[in-house]
Amino acid sequence: MTYPIIITGASRGLGKSLAIKLAKKFHVIAVARTTGGLEDLDDQVKAQGGQATLAPIDITDIDAVRYLCRMIDARWGGLHLWAHCAIHAAPLSPANFIGERDWEKSIKLNITSTGFLITNLAPLLGQAGTALFFEDTFSGKKFFGSYGSTKVAQISLALSWQKETAKTGPKVKILTPAPMPTATRARFFPGEDRTALSDCDTEAQRIIKQLNFK
């Protein structure tokens, strides 16, 4: 039996492109809060003959995460891959003007929920599974205090897990995609020439090749 894959943040951007491409070979468990985006993803997956299980949950809700993991264990017994594409992109702001609500949301989604997910998905990934995280280059730049600091904390957590599981598994990979015309990037660079960016499908295909998932 081939285990399914789970993608957190699967309703748009890179997560959606990864889900569509990987659904050609794997059953995809697509996690996101945006029901409409998940339904559109499901339509595209079915159109190419694939199958997806839609999980419209908030990953900051630990009870919902635990329930989902119990259901995955009961139905499939494990996971082949977890790709973590969910992120909160707080508005750009000087460090001394970061809004309290956005700061708390950044911490909750980018850091706290990542820790919850690692704890709950690690048993399902076992020794042979792969956890995939995505790094970027915004940390320490002007006005990126909220997003950049919480993203660095997320990747720091993933790096620790990577070293801890080097001999035991699961495999933890941290990749850096090329800039893509995602909704997140549009919030950061609203006037940017998006035609100069790599599209999400191209980056998804490149990432899959790096994972050796043919």
Cβ neighbours of 7 (radius 10 Å): 29
Q: Which of 32, 6, 29 is nearest to 109 (CA)?
A: 32
Considering the entire predicted model, what is its pTM? Answer: 0.95
**pLDDT tens by residue, the chain, 214 residues:** 689 999 999 999 999 999 999 999 999 999 999 999 999 999 999 999 999 999 999 999 999 999 999 999 999 999 999 999 999 999 999 999 999 999 999 999 999 999 999 999 999 999 999 999 999 988 889 999 999 999 999 999 999 999 999 999 999 999 999 999 998 898 899 888 999 899 999 999 999 999 986 5
CATH code for the domain in which residue 164 is found = 3.40.50.720
Domain count, the chain: 1
Question: Long-range contacts of range 68-71, CB-CB < 8 Å, 24 or more positions apart?
Answer: 68/29, 68/31, 69/120, 69/121, 69/123, 69/124
Range of the domain at 9: 5-211
